[in-house]
């Protein structure tokens, strides 16, 4: 890698980090602009995924899905965009369409949070009225992350409804 490429990559990373900080502060429009600047300098699966996430905060689920598709094209092993597409499809009411995306996220080679697609698949099954499958998914989420409070709460809620 030459000096120019190193510069663009480091600047892209700087914009990406600044965008993430803005997004965490609720400054979503500013974050979107910074993610775009990052992508102009150096395209990464992470920047596309996080830009999609920022779009989702604005209710722009189709744009979010488009960014996740770009992320997958850039790095098919990166698990986050598969899970995120599924989550955005849930928001759009397309439960059946979401299922294969969570299944892909669960087997992605590069993913730090396998608990998320298990939990989200549980949300699908719960919304579809299959509480047994939903509870199994929530348990799987907790196997991946025993501290995942959303999965704990969802599992407890369904167990309480079944008793």
147 and 75 housed in the same domain:
no
Instruction: State how far Cα 20 lies from the chain centre.
Output: 14
| pLDDT band for position 63 (cuts 50, 70, 90) | very high
Domain residues for the domain of 64 are 1-97
pLDDT of residue 118: 98
Cross-strand pairs, 110: 78
Residues 118 and 84 in one domain: no
pLDDT tens, position by position, 38-52: 999 999 999 999 999
Identify the burial level of 4 via C-beta atoms within 10 angstroms of its C-beta, where 0-12 means exposed, 13-18 middle and 19 or more buried.
exposed
Number of domains in the chain: 2
Output the pLDDT for position 149.
97
DSSP 71-118: HHHH-TTB-HHHHHHHHHHHHTT-HHHHHHHHHHHHH-SB-S-THHHH
Task: Enumerate residues 6+ apart whose C-beta is below 8 A from 28.
Answer: 22, 54, 57, 58
CA dihedral 93, 94, 100, 103 (to 10 degrees): 0
Within a domain: 108: no
List, for residues 72-131, the tens digit of each pLDDT value: 999 999 999 999 999 999 999 999 999 999 999 999 999 989 999 999 999 999 999 999
pTM of the complete model: 0.93
The proportion of the chain whose per-residue pLDDT surpasses 70, expressed as a percent, equals 99
Asked if residue 102 belongs to a domain, the reply is: no
162: confidence class by pLDDT, cuts 50, 70, 90: confident
């Amino acid at each position: 890698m030459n000096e120019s490429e190193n510069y663009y990559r480091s600047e892209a990373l700087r914009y990406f980090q600044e965008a993430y900080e803005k997004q965490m502060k609720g400054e979503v429009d500013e974050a979107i602009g910074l993610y775009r600047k990052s992508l102009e300098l150096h395209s990464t699966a992470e920047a596309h995924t996080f830009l999609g996430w920022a779009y989702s905060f604005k209710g722009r689920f189709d744009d979010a899905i488009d960014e996740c598709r770009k992320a997958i094209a850039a790095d098919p092993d990166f698990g986050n965009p598969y899970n995120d597409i599924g989550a955005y499809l849930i928001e759009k009411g397309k439960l059946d369409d979401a299922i294969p995306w969570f299944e892909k996220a669960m087997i992605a080679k590069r993913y730090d949070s396998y608990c998320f697609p298990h939990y989200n698949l549980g949300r699908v099954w719960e919304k579809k009225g299959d509480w047994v499958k939903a509870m199994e998914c929530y348990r799987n989420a907790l196997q991946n992350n025993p501290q995942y409070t959303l999965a704990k709460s969802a599992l407890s809620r369904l167990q309480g409804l079944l008793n």
